[in-house]
Amino acid sequence: MIDRLEKESEMLERHLQVLRMVIGNEPIGIVKMSNETGYPHHKVRYSLRVLEEENLIEPSSQGAITTERTSEFVEELDDKLDEIVTKIDSMRIEDSYQE
């Protein structure tokens, strides 16, 4: 159960790192992103596909570029992450566990 959460958070971290690269360097291609992040090409490609499905990026002849939705997503991201952290903090058992 926890392993799955850890893998999902690592994947989300990679997706967001790829999105940051697109925002800061658009247009940018898979090879450059892979070289700069150290992620294999197939993982970068998967992250790009996920971001494209979320309408956060789109392909161009020179590489990935942002969309109109990207800035709205970025503005909401910190609040959403804060909500998730609060939920995770509320799941702690150690504070209420009595031996």
pLDDT of 22 reads 97
pLDDT of 99 reads 53
Identify the CATH class of 2-90: mainly alpha
pLDDT band at 95 (very low <50, low <70, confident <90, very high): low
Counting Cα atoms < 13 Å in the Cβ hemisphere of 28 gives: 21
Q: Taking the model in full, what pTM does it have? A: 0.84
Residues contacting 21, CB < 8 A, separation 6+ = 28, 33, 36, 37
pLDDT of 91 reads 85
For the stretch 29-79, pLDDT in tens is 999 999 999 999 999 999 999 999 999 999 999 999 999 999 999 999 989
How do the domains of the chain map onto residue ranges?
A: 2-90
pLDDT of 93 reads 78
